Amino acid sequence: MPQPSPCAPVAARVFSDPERQAVYDVIAHRRDVRNEFLPDAIDPQVLHRILTAAHMAPSVGLSQPWNFILIRDAAQKARVKEAFSQANDEAQAMFPAAKRSAYGALKLEGIEKAPLNIVVTCDRTRGGKVVLGRTHNPEMDLYSSVCAVQNLWLAARAEGVGVGWVSIYHEADLRAILDLPPHVAIIAYLCVGYVDQLYDQPELAARGWARQDPVEQVIMEGGWQSQSHDP
């Protein structure tokens, strides 16, 4: 009897109702964590599962362009925190005067409080000069790496681990701290640690900084349609 080809598709798994609901529950309860981190070190097996989930993200041409830089050293975190603080002061001044005090009241990072920081990078040379799927859209490797961040975030939430994405820094400062070569892009600086309390909605919504729009407001059919969206 002929053997099936190793690359032939197999029957698609049908997930049960509870399994599907678990996925939607994790998505709905994902939060950007700032101040709720516990000091406990992340169990190595838990961390390995989370990073494995990130590594299973889809990538253009199966290039898997990401790396995960783990930062635990307090002195290194302090350098990152200093870079953040300088940029954050600059960011606060960019907002209208009426919003600056509200901005200053927000805690926008957990760099030193989180027991672990993870930097997700994208090696833009991974896969060689010509990569399937990047021939006409070269930025697809960056988007692939963002998919790895989302996988990491959702897996972490399922494990009871919180994640916060820090985006306020000058890239040159962070590149110097991490000693990154020119061909490696910074995708995400993440603060990671166990949590036992979380907001029941996005924190910025809970604090009145922004609102969460209904999905119907962002769905369009067939092409772009004019819409009003309050700033």
Does the residue 221 lie in any domain?
A: no
221's CB contacts (< 8 A; 6+ apart) are none
Q: Please tell me the pTM assigned to this model.
A: 0.93
Does the residue 114 lie in any domain?
A: yes
For residue 7, the one-letter residue type is C
Does the residue 209 lie in any domain?
A: no
Does the residue 208 lie in any domain?
A: no
- Total tally of structural domains belonging to the chain: 1
126: number of CA atoms within 13 Å, CB side? 21
Does the residue 32 lie in any domain?
A: no
156's CB contacts (< 8 A; 6+ apart) are 50, 162, 163, 192
Does the residue 100 lie in any domain?
A: yes
Query: pLDDT band at residue 228, thresholds of 50, 70 and 90?
Result: low
* Residue 53, domain CATH: 3.40.109.10
- Number of helices (H), then strands (E), in the chain: 7, 4
Does the residue 220 lie in any domain?
A: no
Nearest CA-CA partner of 60 in 132, 136, 148:
132
Instruction: Tell me the mean pLDDT in the region 191-201.
Output: 94
User: Alpha-carbon Rg of the chain, whole angstroms?
Assistant: 20
Q: Which domain holds residue 122?
A: 37-198
Query: pLDDT band at residue 226, thresholds of 50, 70 and 90?
Result: confident
pLDDT for residue 229: 58
Does the residue 11 lie in any domain?
A: no
pLDDT for 88-113, tens place per residue?
Answer: 999 999 999 989 989 999 999 999 99
